[in-house]
Amino acid sequence: MLSLHPCLPPSSVLHRGTGRRPTGNDSQPSILCTADGRAGVEVGHVSADVNATAIVKRIQRTKKYAHLCESVIRRASDQAVARYRTEKEAEKAARRRLHQVYGAYLEEDWVGEVGRALDAVDKDDLAEPRAFCLPLLDLHASTRERVDNLDTLFPRIFSETGTPSHVVDLACGLNPLTVSWMGLPESCRYTAVDLHEGLALVLNRFFERFGLTGEAVCGDVLEWDDFTADVVFLLKVLPCLARQEKDADLATVARIPSRDVVLSYPSKSLSGRDVGMVEHYGNRAREIADCCGRDLIEIEGASELVFVLRKGA
Ligand SMILES: C[S@@+](CC[C@H](N)C(=O)[O-])C[C@H]1O[C@@H](n2cnc3c(N)ncnc32)[C@H](O)[C@@H]1O
């Protein structure tokens, strides 16, 4: 039985039968959808011609979205089908939505760059994994901002959580390339999850080449439900999840049974300006901790805003 805190939005309830979470369609009960996603009757904006599954398949065939995990495309398509009359309009809207929310993660070739670096790994790289990873961390804004802080950030986090036996890094980006700064024991499992299939492939190559106990999976955080880990990372991703579904930042933390959830937020804008993010995101982190019945511990002195949310005793 899934128990939810009363302050959670209804959208946080997992649809057990279908294994999928509610979408824009679910708020339109008069729309009948067949198993293949075809809208059966013309109700509101939905016509019989609008087929979400066909839209998903076409979007998956495009070069830009070919590497995106299916449930993310499915969500955007379901939401568009609920709002537009024709398949053409719905598909256009779904693509627009995917571009707005995920475009920034797909456009640059940082995954390709990591792949090419792995093609050229030599014995010096294997002996010095940090030196190999440093220039790669610079490819993505989130890890770039973390680079000067790596020596202290993870020791501080793990001094709060204790040494984990399993870490799940949700919406990981290139953060798994920081594992050699984490000081984790060899026995510790590290599961990295991101919506980008190509990223999961290169991260698995990285783990294998460097003999690390890690696995990367292409998955959607809003659907993820494998939480055997004692520590879950949600680094710099909650604002992005909240754009994908209302209150998805809160709902995601609420679904996690693990003892410690490590959240982080950027403290400055991409141009380096202080635009009140510390106060704004600090308040949101406190709200999430309160709603989820977790204690909030701030990790001070980092280049990003970092909190450990500890399950109440
Ligand atoms: C701002 S970056 C943060 C990356 C990393 N956590 C870090 O701090 O270095 C956001 C990452 O979240 C991923 N992402 C966004 N929405 C996601 C979702 N619904 N499921 C899985 N990954 C997602 C993107 O692909 C991107 O790699």
Quote the ligand 1 centre to 173 CA distance (angstroms): 5
Closest residue to atom 12 of ligand 1, CA basis: 171
Same domain, 87 and 164: no
Among 65, 97, 175, 195, say which to mutate for ligand 1: greatest number of ligand atoms within 8 Å of CB: 195
Same domain, 208 and 74: no
Q: Does 44 reside within a domain? A: yes
Q: What is the pLDDT of residue 242?
A: 94
Contacts of residue 29, defined as CB under 8 A and 6 or more positions apart, other chains included, come to none
Atom of ligand 1 nearest to the CA of 219: 21
| 48, 71, 106 - which closes a domain | 106
State the helix-helix crossing angle for 129-137 and 110-119, rounded to 10 degrees.
160
User: pLDDT per residue over 171-224, tens digit each?
Assistant: 999 999 999 999 999 999 999 999 999 999 999 999 999 999 999 999 999 999
Q: Is residue 21 in contact with ligand 1, taking CB distance under 6 Å?
A: no
Q: Does 4 reside within a domain? A: no
User: What pLDDT band is residue 47 in, cutting at 50, 70 and 90?
Assistant: low
CATH number of domain containing 282 = 3.40.50.150
Q: Is residue 304 in contact with ligand 1, taking CB distance under 6 Å?
A: no
Closest residue to atom 8 of ligand 1, CA basis: 235
pLDDT top residue among 56 and 39:
56
User: pLDDT per residue over 225-265, tens digit each?
Assistant: 988 999 999 999 999 999 888 999 999 999 999 999 999 99
Same domain, 94 and 158: no
Quote the ligand 1 centre to 237 CA distance (angstroms): 6
Q: Does 119 reside within a domain? A: no
Quote the ligand 1 centre to 102 CA distance (angstroms): 9
Predicted confidence (pLDDT) at residue 32 exceeds the cutoff of 70? no
Closest residue to atom 23 of ligand 1, CA basis: 171
Q: What share of the chain is helix, strand, coil (3-state, %, to 5)?
A: 45, 15, 40
Q: Does 32 reside within a domain? A: yes
Q: Residue 7 is inside which H or E element, if any?
A: none
Q: What is the pLDDT of residue 24?
A: 36
Same domain, 156 and 282: yes
| 74, 106, 138 - which closes a domain | 106
The stretches of the chain forming alpha helices (DSSP H) are 52-60, 70-81, 87-106, 110-119, 123-127, 129-137, 141-144, 150-161, 197-209, 238-244, 248-255, 277-291
Q: Does 48 reside within a domain? A: yes
Same domain, 174 and 239: yes
Q: How many domains does the chain have?
A: 2
Closest residue to atom 27 of ligand 1, CA basis: 173
Same domain, 245 and 147: yes
pLDDT top residue among 2 and 308:
308
Same domain, 134 and 206: yes
CATH number of domain containing 101 = 1.10.8.10
**DSSP 8-state assignment for residue 37:** S
Q: What are the tokens at 18?
A: 């279908």
Atom of ligand 1 nearest to the CA of 175: 9
User: pLDDT per residue over 58-93, tens digit each?
Assistant: 999 998 899 899 999 999 999 999 999 899 999 999
Q: Does 255 reside within a domain? A: yes
Atom of ligand 1 nearest to the CA of 173: 27
Same domain, 215 and 249: yes
Same domain, 95 and 145: no
User: pLDDT per residue over 133-181, tens digit each?
Assistant: 999 999 988 999 999 999 999 999 999 999 999 999 999 999 999 999 9
User: What's the one-letter identity of residue 221?
Assistant: V
Distance in angstroms (rounded) separating the CA atoms of residues 126 and 80: 47
Same domain, 184 and 255: yes
Q: What is the pLDDT of residue 49?
A: 58
Q: Does 154 reside within a domain? A: yes
- What range does the domain containing 307 cover? 124-311
Q: Does 116 reside within a domain? A: no
Q: Is residue 129 in contact with ligand 1, taking CB distance under 6 Å?
A: no
- Cα distances from 160 to residues 134, 143, 152, 278, 309, in angstroms, run 25, 22, 13, 21, 10
Average pLDDT, the chain: 84
Contact call for residues 138 and 161 (beta carbons, < 8 A): no
CA atoms lying within 13 Å on the CB side of residue 17: 2
| 61, 80, 106 - which closes a domain | 106
Same domain, 91 and 148: no
Contact call for residues 145 and 175 (beta carbons, < 8 A): no
Distance in angstroms (rounded) separating the CA atoms of residues 186 and 217: 20
Among 21, 64, 105, say which to mutate for ligand 1: greatest number of ligand atoms within 8 Å of CB: 105
Among 178, 191, 194, 236, say which to mutate for ligand 1: greatest number of ligand atoms within 8 Å of CB: 194
Same domain, 95 and 166: no
